[in-house]
Every structure is written in C-alpha cells, then in structure tokens.
Amino acid sequence: MRYIDAFNHFFPERFFAGVVETPAGQKDMGKRVRGIPALFDLDERLRIVDSFPDYSQILSLSMPAIDRLWGPEDSPEWARIGNDELAELVARHPQQFPGYAASLPMNAPEAALREAERVLRNGANAIQLHTNVDGAPLDEERFWPIFEVIAKSGRPILLHPIRTREMADYRNETKSKYEINSVIGWPFETGAALARLVFSGIIDTYPDLKVVSHHLGGIIPYFEGRVGHSWDQLGSRTSDEDYASILKRLKKRPLDYFKEFYGDTALAGARGPTICGISFFTPDRVLFASDCPFDPEKGTGYIKATIAVLESLDLSEEDRNKICHGNARRLFGLD
C-alpha cells in the first residue's frame, strides 16, 4: 500500500537556526524540539522515510508558530525563508517529499496575503494555518482576504492546533498546568476554530475552501451528537446576543458544515478514535498522517502505529486507497 503522510513536521537548516535563537525557541516547545534529531537533521529524516516501503511525506514547519517566534516586522522574512527551504527540499527529494505546506506570517496579515499568493503561485501544495494567531481567532476580518486567496487556489489548509500555557485552564489562574493546554487543550482548540469558520460565515463566503483538521477533527467527531443537536438550537442559551439569526443566515445545518471538513489520522495510533473519525468524515475526507517525528521513538513510532491501525480496520480496498494516498494526491495536486 502506498502511504502519503499529509501532516508531519520538519525544520529546514537555516530556519531552524533562526528558531533556536528566539526566546520562544529556547524554552517550552523549543526545549522539546532540540531533543528530536529527525525534526531538523535531514539525513536522519531521510533515513526514517526510506525505512518504510512506498511511503512519502508532505512537509510542513513545526511549532512554535511563526507569529509566536517573531514580531510582525520580522515574521514575513522568516516565513519566506522557511517556505523556500521546504520548496528546495521537495525539489531535491521528490520521492521522499512530493510536496509541502507553506506557512504564513499571520501577525502581519498584508504580508501573509502576499506570501500566500507567492507560494501558491510557485507550487506550494497546501497552506498550514494554526487555530489562533498569537491568541486571536482566525475569523477576524483582517484574515478574510487570506482565506479568499487560498480558496481560489484550490489547495487545502492544514489546520494545526495551538494553545499555549498562557491560555489558562481556569479563570482565576494565569497559566495552564500539567501541559493540559496541549494534551487535551489542542483537540478543543481545533473544534473551536472549526466552529468559528462555520458561524462567522467564512465557509459560506468561500465554499471552495478545503480545511484538513489535524488529529482527525479534534473533539468534533466524538461529540457529533452534541455538535448536531446543541447547535441546531443556537441562541437558546444566550440572551445578550442574537445567535438565532445566525441559523437563518447559514445555508446548511451546522453539523453539515463540520462533516465537510477533512481530518487526518494523526492520533498516536489510537484505534477507537480513528474509527470514530472515519465514521464522521467518511473515507472521502480522511487523509493518512502520522505527526512524525513527535513519537517516543523520535520518528518511526507514530508512522508504524498509524499504519497498523489502518491495516486492522475493515475497509474496502477503495476506501483504504482513498485514506492512505488517494485523497492526498487529489487535495495536494500530486496527480
């Protein structure tokens, strides 16, 4: 079986050197990434990819997000550096890396718009966005032109969750504890970002927009019943805003929008949630992904575990092909 890994992460050489010099790159996530050679060592990454038969990766930059690393005066240049380095890797190693997802300096929206136009014109296969921009929601008006450009390109958004320690678990605290912000905060953050795309009207405005939600949609598939029936009654719990009028404005039932997003299989090899996510999105909207190299083995573990889960499922050959490589080929323009 051919596997195209839709969501995994790598730091090219020059970009990585810049990351480790930033304050954010020297603490928290920066502390973690320096301990994973396959995240920045190309030879090690190639060794891992080549250890699996008929396996390749669509590369994207790793965390922290560009807008967490540099201010708006520097982020456009570093986004260009990272994107150009990824494009060069794809050109040099097309068998291992058939495509890449470009990243944008979202804290400088006008520059982000120009960078999106540039990379999509030059062959980027996707755009990686995070679920917030240094704490700001993606549906703010300043970001809408970026969605328009991506929608017109036909290429997908790879939506990566980001929820920092500053986003506290409780109102009377200033920081999240015990890494709750990422371990269980990221799945919530994914659901929240998808909801903002739906209820803000972005999806109705740009109906051709394709969004691949990391970790198989976060909490959304698991709470399908609650998402469906509770948002069918939008406004029934709120008296100070007219949410009921949003239901009249939407062109579809809220749940139907969520089912039209895509999800990837990066679930650390968990079988039950994989079944749940495929059931929710259907095999037409699920892409194989591993989240390499953030497994305990530092590169191979999640790839092996995710392949094993998919091989254990009772899927038709047609559906298995869609999930493992067909949907990726179509969305990323690899055909």
Query: How confident is the model over 106-119, as a mean pLDDT?
Result: 98
Could you read off the pLDDT of 154-211 as tens digits, one per residue?
999 999 999 999 999 999 999 999 999 999 999 999 999 999 999 999 999 999 999 9
Domain-wise residue ranges, the chain = 3-332
| pLDDT for position 335 | 78
Q: Does residue 234 carry a pLDDT above 80?
A: yes
Here the tokens at position 4 are 């195209």
The candidate with the shortest Cα–Cα distance to 147, out of 203, 195, 107, is 203
Query: How confident is the model over 138-150, as a mean pLDDT?
Result: 98
Query: How confident is the model over 77-93, as a mean pLDDT?
Result: 98
Percent of the chain with pLDDT over 90: 93
Q: Which position has the token pair 């109906």? A: 207
Omega cis (within 30) before 145: no
Q: What is the mean pLDDT of the chain?
A: 96
| pLDDT for position 31 | 65
The CATH number, out of the four listed (2.60.40.1930, 3.10.129.10, 3.40.50.300, 3.20.20.140), of the domain defined by the range 3-332: 3.20.20.140
For residues 191 and 217, the answer to whether their CB atoms sit within 8 Å is yes
Cα distance between residue 173 and residue 177, in whole Å: 9
Could you read off the pLDDT of 258-304 as tens digits, one per residue?
999 999 999 999 999 999 999 999 999 999 999 999 999 999 999 99
Q: Does residue 28 carry a pLDDT above 70?
A: no
Neighbours of 254 (CB within 10 A): 18
Q: State which amino acid sits at residue 163.
A: R
| pLDDT for position 30 | 59
CA distances to 89, 270, 313, 315 from 275, in Å: 34, 9, 8, 10
Percent of the chain with pLDDT over 70: 98
